[in-house]
Amino acid sequence: MESCERAAAIFRALGDPQRLRILMMLEASERCVSEICSVLDEPMPAISQRLRLLRSERIVRSRRDGKHVYYGLADDHISRLVTNGVMHAIENHS
């Protein structure tokens, strides 16, 4: 039961289009918050809030390098979830 609750929380976090866009970026390479803000053209507080939720669900990991905090996907399971979800959406859209 606990595993199902945890999985449901992960799917809820993945269910937001803006958070999913962040994850798609992070799948390509780890990024700092300012890079994510620039690419998505969103303010830093909004991106930081989304990253905080993704980190709390252990979907992304972070590392500090000087003044910058870099984010990346937590593991290959998350990478596959993101990739498979997007690919499924593309296939069903065609």
Please say if the pLDDT value at position 18 is more than 90. yes
Q: What is the DSSP letter of 16?
A: S
Please say if the pLDDT value at position 82 is more than 70. yes
Query: What is the predicted pLDDT for the residue at 20?
Result: 95
Please say if the pLDDT value at position 1 is more than 90. no
Q: Determine what percent of the chain is predicted with pLDDT higher than 70.
A: 97
Kindly state the average pLDDT of the residues 32-46.
Answer: 95
pTM, two decimal places: 0.90
CA distance 75 to 47: 21
